[in-house]
Amino acid sequence: MLTLVLGLASPAAACGGFFCTPAITPIDQAAEEIVFALDSEQNTVEMHIEITYEGASDDFAWVLPVPEEPDLFVSSADMFAELAFNTAPTFSTNFVEEGNCREPVRLGCVQYDMALESAGSTDVYVVDSEQIGPYDTVTLRAESADALLTWLVDNDYDLPSDLEPLLEPYVAAQSYFVAMRLSAGKDTGDIEPIGLTYSGDGLSIPIQLTAIAAAEDMPLRVYVFGDARAVPESYLHVEINEAAIDWLGGGSNYYEVVEAAANEADGHAFVTEYAGKSKVASGGDETLARLISQYGYLTRMTAVLSPDEMTVDPTFVINSELPDVDKDHLADFVVDCTGGKRRENAPSWIKLADGRVVHLGEGLNQFGATAKTVGDLQDVPAMSISDMSGFDAELIADFSGDADDSLDAHNAAYDEGGCGCSTAPIPGSLLFFGGLALFLRRRR
């Protein structure tokens, strides 16, 4: 089982890998990111981790448990930037004018790029030590969490004393531990992403270890290069309700919807933002170019987690039976000027790709945006929650009935605008399937 990053420093404010140190206010981060590349023929995993840190150079300490002895190397910050930018979900609208508006509507294609928001103890064994880029690294194995923590503290790694119980499951799994600190003469400005390769096919993130100092509502973004689509195994998969998206704002509330949708599964769910040919991520970075050349498929998934939700480590598998997922989302923005209506009196609506219609009322401002919002539709942020770890996706919870009821209530406020369109509601309310009914809960 692969696990992920622990980066701590005390008492400075630090973020190593996926979280900040305890006893300080967590740093607000746009997203924590990790890249996996799974070579099924060679039975190897390549892993890249972006490291963020704020604090004194001497306090930097970073620990990573992995299932097998790894080979370490310096990764590329440009790779993460290009991946985030080139695979970001977008929300665009086509303008459709019905009839002839008596005043022109100055509205173009609205698009919002989500990426712009981006061993002195006999119980501890030193397997390897080397300098990698700006880091002094050591690879360890340990007989107990207490012995491992004692060794690290004795060797001047500033780690919290309450870390031991979180290390225990990884020690019990006989993991290797990569410990890093900055080399002499290096400072925080020299920090670079770290990469490693190891034997096996396990893709996992040690969220339980991360929870000790994670920020509330921490976005976690995972990229998987391979030969087919990757899906969450130990977590569920959520499909968001696109009626809740602020389409005229270019999807500016997208991550709010994702967070609320994941909360329907106690935070234990990922949304797939892209799944398809890896060449979509092409850029100028050499590391990224090598991965794209070697692996034809790329999956991008995002979750939003708070510390109290970090009770299960996310694991991922390949499921070649599932379809691609487009990163670009398109809807029609319709203004109805039939009967000679003036623009300020014309009803308007959003027509989604699935045929549902979101009424926006009458009147546009000078920039073509409505004065109405769709905030009420965020009450039902998810359309469905599924288990995708098997060859056939298993529906766990269906919220489509609730979504249509919410949309009907929203649209009823604008019936006098004369939209003349139907939301085509699906009968029924919330349905739960299988034994996970008690696990899923709605939080407002």
If pLDDT is split at 50, 70 and 90, which confidence band does 271 have? Answer: very high
Other CB atoms within 10 Å distance of the CB of residue 1: 16
Amino acid at site 300: R
Give the model confidence (pLDDT) of 147-172 as tens digits: 999 999 999 888 877 888 889 989 99
Which SS3 state, helix, strand or coil, does residue 304 take?
strand
The pLDDT of residue 53: 77
If pLDDT is split at 50, 70 and 90, which confidence band does 122 have? Answer: low
Position 57 pLDDT exceeds 60: yes
What is 237-272 written as a DSSP string? EEEE-GGGS-GGGTSTTHHHHHHHHHHTTTT-EEEE
Residue 183 has what DSSP assignment?
Answer: P
CA neighbor of 304 nearest in space, from 214, 179, 229, 225: 214
Residue 442 lies in a domain: no
pTM of the predicted structure, to 2 decimals: 0.81
Domain that residue 136 falls in: 6-436
Position 133 pLDDT exceeds 80: yes
Other CB atoms within 10 Å distance of the CB of residue 325: 17
Amino acid at site 293: S
Give the model confidence (pLDDT) of 194-242 as tens digits: 999 999 888 988 888 777 767 788 889 999 999 999 999 999 999 999 9
Could you tell me where the beta strands, DSSP code E, fall in 186-343? 194-199, 203-204, 218-226, 230-232, 236-240, 269-277, 297-305, 315-318, 328-337
Q: How many domains does the chain have?
A: 1
The pLDDT of residue 5: 44
The pLDDT of residue 7: 43
- In the numeric block, the tokens 């928001």 are attached to 117
If pLDDT is split at 50, 70 and 90, which confidence band does 436 have? Answer: very low
Residue 25 lies in a domain: yes
Q: Return the higher-pLDDT residue of 167 and 115.
A: 167
CA neighbor of 297 nearest in space, from 271, 323, 315: 323
The pLDDT of residue 116: 39
Other CB atoms within 10 Å distance of the CB of residue 122: 8
The pLDDT of residue 373: 61
Residues 394-416 have a mean pLDDT of 88
Compute the half-sphere exposure of residue 31: CA atoms within 13 Å on the CB side of its CA: 26
Average pLDDT, the chain: 80
Position 10 pLDDT exceeds 60: no
Q: What angle do CA 210, 215, 219 make, to 5 degrees?
A: 85
If pLDDT is split at 50, 70 and 90, which confidence band does 390 have? Answer: confident
Residue 441 lies in a domain: no
Residue 63 lies in a domain: yes
- Whole-number Å distance between alpha carbons of 392 and 175: 32
CA neighbor of 34 nearest in space, from 196, 171, 236, 170: 196
What is the layout of strands, in order, in the sheet containing 347-351?
Answer: 90-99, 328-337, 347-351, 357-362
Q: Which of 16-25, 278-287, 431-440 has the highest mean pLDDT?
A: 278-287
Residue 1 lies in a domain: no
- Whole-number Å distance between alpha carbons of 153 and 328: 48
The pLDDT of residue 120: 53
Among 30-44, 48-62, 310-324, which is the least confidently predicted range? 48-62
What is 337-352 written as a DSSP string? ETTT--GGG-EEEEE-
- Whole-number Å distance between alpha carbons of 119 and 129: 11
DSSP element (H, E) containing 167: helix 164-172
The answer to whether 92 touches 189, Cβ cutoff 8 Å, is no
The pLDDT of residue 416: 52
Residue 444 lies in a domain: no
Residue 343 lies in a domain: yes
As given in the structure block, the two tokens for residue 352 are: 């989604």
Share of the chain above pLDDT 90, in %: 47
Residue 361 lies in a domain: yes
The pLDDT of residue 60: 85
Q: Is 275 exposed, middle or buried (0-12, 13-18, 19+ CB in 10 A)?
A: buried
- Whole-number Å distance between alpha carbons of 134 and 129: 14
Which SS3 state, helix, strand or coil, does residue 72 take?
strand
As given in the structure block, the two tokens for residue 410 are: 């929203």
- Whole-number Å distance between alpha carbons of 388 and 399: 17
As given in the structure block, the two tokens for residue 217 are: 């509502």
The pLDDT of residue 19: 30
If pLDDT is split at 50, 70 and 90, which confidence band does 361 have? Answer: confident
- Whole-number Å distance between alpha carbons of 69 and 49: 17
Q: Is 284 exposed, middle or buried (0-12, 13-18, 19+ CB in 10 A)?
A: exposed
DSSP element (H, E) containing 96: strand 90-99
